């Protein structure tokens, strides 16, 4: 099968190559999926899971990309809950070969059925931002209707999903970003916008939750904007920042079938939309992910036309 591999951690996405690889086999409780659309997450090539298995053994060259929409072509020993020919979407194991390939083996429980009226491109674009935003807001952030949330990078891939889901859940949403992102963040559901290039972040005060996608100095300063006992959630790794009397949670997104079903249902009802920047082919994926060619929004690789 055709697949993209990475071989050089320092080169990141710029070191991707299109190669021939053997088709994967379904292990116990796995399915094999013929990938129709897939993508990668911003920094995943720098994550240790791209380079080793769970025992720390080298798996270079590995196939990156862990988001997919496609069709089940084979079941592993004992696999239940999905069937051959079924349309699915979901998130694959970080430590196994990924989805920038014609086929991928993945645990069935990592996938949800993709309704027939949702295009594969859209399905693939929902997975990572949808699950990350859902888990950050509702599981870790325990956001409820009537509360306020500040979403950093609200025009970005994860942030635009978080802004929509939070608004839809009845929260008051303050988005942040660069000056040029104001209108996009408002269009995705932010009710106020803090321009991090010009406004003073500290002027915002007393929010119940901060959802951070930026890290660094911004996440440190954000703890002070949270009411006593509130929560800081970040997806950019560990931080010392703590709201007074409250919690800080940094997390990596996990697969979740029930959450995927909730998310795709909102899309079908017009309550949610994707933030897709570019759709490319597997043959052109190396070019599409070249950092020098970066476009805003999710880059989706349409593996099958
Ligand atoms: N832990 C997890 O499970 C998990 C899951 C998904 C993603 N992530 C990580 O989360 C981060 C965000 O991912 P993403 O896909 O949402 O990226 P993205 O689409 O680039 O979103 C980031 C947003 O923040 C803006 N931004 C960046 N730096 C800024 C700054 N200094 N001041 C103001 N605005 C700034 C960007 O604007 P511009 O477009 O103008 O730069 C963009 O709108 C990445 O580091 C990614 O690896 C982690």
**What's the token pair of residue 2?**
């055709």
Beta strands in the chain (DSSP E): 2-6, 16-20, 30-39, 67-75, 87-91, 103-107, 111-113, 148-151, 172-177, 192-195, 207-212, 226-234, 247-250, 276-281, 298-302
Closest of 39, 35, 14 to residue 300, by C-alpha: 39
- Our answer on whether the CB atom of 177 is closer than 6 Å to any ligand 1 atom is yes
Q: How far apart are CA 234 and CA 129, in angstroms?
A: 14
Do 277 and 42 contact (CB within 8 A), yes or no? no
Half-sphere exposure of 180 (CA within 13 A, CB side): 2
Do 268 and 117 contact (CB within 8 A), yes or no? yes
Tell me whether strands 207-212 and 226-234 are parallel, antiparallel or unpaired: parallel
Is the peptide bond between 181 and the residue preceding it cis, with omega within 30 degrees of 0?
no
Walk me through the domains of the chain, giving residue ranges and CATH numbers. 2-114+275-302 (3.90.180.10), 129-250 (3.40.50.720)
CA 220 to chain centre: 23
Residues 6 or more apart in contact with residue 188 via CB below 8 angstroms:
154, 155, 159, 160, 163, 164, 175, 275
Residue closest via CA to ligand 1's atom 2 equals 252
**What's the token pair of residue 157?**
């891939």
Digitized pLDDT (tens) for each residue of the chain, 305 residues in all: 999 999 988 888 888 999 999 999 999 999 999 999 999 998 899 999 999 999 999 999 999 999 999 999 999 999 999 999 999 999 999 999 999 999 999 999 999 999 999 999 999 999 999 999 999 999 999 999 999 999 999 999 999 999 999 999 999 999 999 999 999 999 999 999 999 999 999 899 899 999 999 999 999 999 999 999 999 999 999 999 999 999 999 999 999 999 999 999 999 999 999 999 999 999 999 999 988 888 999 999 999 98
Pocket test of ligand 1: the residue of 153, 178, 184, 193 to mutate, having most ligand atoms within 8 Å of its CB, is 153
User: Would the pTM of this model clear 0.95, i.e. be above it?
Assistant: yes
Return the axis-axis angle of helices 157-168 and 120-134, rounded to nearest 10°.
70
Do 162 and 133 contact (CB within 8 A), yes or no? yes
Q: How far apart are CA 39 and CA 66, in angstroms?
A: 7
Tell me whether strands 207-212 and 148-151 are parallel, antiparallel or unpaired: parallel
Residue closest via CA to ligand 1's atom 4 equals 235
Pocket test of ligand 1: the residue of 178, 199, 300 to mutate, having most ligand atoms within 8 Å of its CB, is 178
Q: How far apart are CA 7 and CA 227, in angstroms?
A: 45
Pocket test of ligand 1: the residue of 141, 177, 256 to mutate, having most ligand atoms within 8 Å of its CB, is 177
């Amino acid at each position: 099968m055709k697949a993209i591999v990475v071989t050089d951690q320092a080169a990141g996405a710029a070191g991707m190559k299109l190669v021939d690889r053997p088709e994967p086999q379904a292990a116990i409780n796995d399915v094999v999926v013929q990938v129709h659309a897939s993508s990668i997450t911003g920094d995943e090539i720098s994550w240790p899971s791209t380079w080793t298995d769970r025992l720390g053994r080298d798996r270079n060259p590995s196939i990156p990309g862990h988001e997919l929409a496609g069709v089940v072509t084979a079941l592993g020993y004992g696999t239940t809950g999905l069937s051959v020919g079924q349309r699915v979407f979901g998130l694959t194991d970080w430590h196994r070969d990924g989805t920038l390939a014609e086929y991928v083996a993945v645990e069935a429980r990592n996938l949800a059925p993709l309704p027939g009226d949702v295009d594969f491109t859209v399905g693939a674009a929902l997975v990572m931002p949808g699950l990350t935003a859902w888990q950050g807001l509702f599981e870790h952030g325990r956001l409820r209707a009537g509360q306020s949330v500040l979403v950093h990078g609200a025009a970005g891939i994860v942030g635009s999903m978080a802004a929509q889901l939070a608004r839809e859940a009845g929260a008051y949403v303050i988005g942040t970003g660069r000056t040029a992102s104001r209108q996009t963040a408002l269009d995705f559901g932010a009710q106020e916008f803090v321009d991090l290039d010009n406004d003073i972040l500290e002027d915002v005060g007393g929010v119940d939750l901060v959802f951070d996608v930026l890290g660094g100095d911004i996440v440190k300063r954000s703890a002070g904007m949270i009411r006593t006992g509130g929560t800081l959630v970040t997806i950019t790794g560990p931080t010392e920042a703590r709201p007074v009397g409250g919690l800080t949670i940094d997390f990596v997104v996990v697969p979740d079938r029930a959450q995927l079903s909730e998310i795709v249902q909102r899309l079908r009802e017009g309550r949610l939309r994707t933030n897709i920047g570019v759709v490319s082919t597997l043959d052109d994926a190396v070019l599409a992910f070249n950092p020098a060619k970066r476009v805003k929004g999710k880059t989706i690789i349409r593996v099958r036309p």
